[in-house]
Homo-oligomer: A and B are copies of this chain.
Amino acid sequence: MVLIASTIKDVAKYTGLSIATISKYINGGNVREENKKLIDEAIKALDFRVNEIARGLKTNKTATIGVLIPSLENIFLTSIVSRVESILLQYGYSTIICDYRQNKELENQKFDFLMNKFVDGIILVPLGINEDKIKMALEKDVPVILIDRSIKGIDCDVVLVDNLNAAYNAVELLFTKGHRRVGIICGPQDIYTAQERLKGYIRVHEDYQIKIDDALVKYGDYEIQSGMELMNYFLEMENPPTAVFVTNYEMTLGAVMALNSRNISIPNEMSLIGFDNIQLANVVKPKLSIVVQPMQQIGEFAANLLLKRMKGDKSGYPAMLRLKTDIVEGESIKVINSFI
């Protein structure tokens, strides 16, 4: 039983060649055919594998990239990450996934951790990252790709969806079915996506020349509980909206729970358009209409952009990839008045 891993030195000894030659071969250099065979044999016999730690020490490359997200329990994010991971693997990169639990301090800490691990690149869903850290990384030639959210005032590659028009389209759909009093359950306004989604809500009202009733614009925190509370708030208004647009998955969950617990019928008594999770949409009765984001695509774009940057290709920097969302229609929107 080989307890101590064999090193390049052992391979050298076994073959009678020098360490330098073995290293050259491993890294794709020219070696006589005869010696290639010999080295292969030795590697097999000794079960040799490169010590990545030692290699990393010399090369400052680790063939590892870091992914830093606010929560592991968010299926929207983990879907993206899963795709990223699978693409990078094809190019020989491994992935370290970190979760900063919506905690800005932890986010900064873990960013440092990744840099300390000498990852070759970082994919980040930012919340309160210290901009200097990103600059520092880029200066050290560690590319950083932001996903889902951008940070104003900083040049950085970013892959996200067109949240503004996602919201625009969702609310527009309600308008075309005759709704005029449309409530919105927003996210926290220090989060980029939440700002954009609110902007879309506002713009579509402008374009349709419908005045916004401020009482219909409520701010949640992207968690289930607030979705529930704010839907309850709407239901208790003297003049409630006829439809509500909920701007993320968790709050959509909460909103549905609120409706269910009060036995409000969807869409007869309240129309609803939600966000992000097609499985959720299908399991609710009647099926929910929702905005879906192209998670797979976000992952692919981010991974490919990162690969490009790691190759040293800085063209088009900073890139801003803005993908389009879709609406999957269920039966959660009542047709009050169709113009079509």
Instruction: Show the binding face of A for B, using Cβ within 8 Å.
Output: 1, 3, 5, 49, 51-54, 56-57, 62, 64, 71-73, 75, 78-79, 81-82, 85-86, 94-99, 101, 113, 116-118, 139-140, 224, 253, 256-257, 260, 279-280, 282-285, 287
Contacts A3-B140, A73-B75 given; indicate if A54 touches B52 (C-beta within 8 A): no
Contacts A49-B116, A53-B57, A282-B257 given; indicate if A98 touches B99 (C-beta within 8 A): no
| A3 CB contacts on chain B under 8 angstroms | 139-140
CA distance A304 to B318 in the complex (A): 44
Q: Are B73 and A224 in contact (CB under 8 A)?
A: no
Closest CB in chain B relative to A264 CB, distance in Å: 10
CB nearest to A279 among chain B residues: B253
6 pairs, CB–CB < 8 Å, chain A vs chain B: A51-B57, A53-B53, A85-B99, A94-B113, A95-B98, A256-B283
Beyond A49-B116, A54-B57, A253-B282, 17 extra complex contacts between A and B, CB < 8 Å:
A53-B53, A53-B118, A72-B81, A73-B79, A94-B113, A94-B117, A95-B98, A97-B97, A224-B279, A253-B279, A253-B283, A257-B282, A260-B283, A280-B283, A283-B284, A284-B284, A285-B285
Closest CB in chain B relative to A116 CB, distance in Å: 5
| A49 CB contacts on chain B under 8 angstroms | 116
Q: Are B52 and A117 in contact (CB under 8 A)?
A: yes
Pick the most buried of A5, A51, A97: most chain B CB atoms within 10 A of its CB.
A97
| A140 CB contacts on chain B under 8 angstroms | 3, 5
Closest CB in chain B relative to A197 CB, distance in Å: 21
Q: Are B71 and A1 in contact (CB under 8 A)?
A: no
CA distance A52 to B72 in the complex (A): 25
CA distance A86 to B224 in the complex (A): 22
CB nearest to A256 among chain B residues: B283
Closest CB in chain B relative to A92 CB, distance in Å: 11
| A73 CB contacts on chain B under 8 angstroms | 75, 78-79, 82
Closest CB in chain B relative to A336 CB, distance in Å: 23
Closest CB in chain B relative to A8 CB, distance in Å: 14
CA distance A99 to B79 in the complex (A): 11
Q: Are B72 and A82 in contact (CB under 8 A)?
A: yes
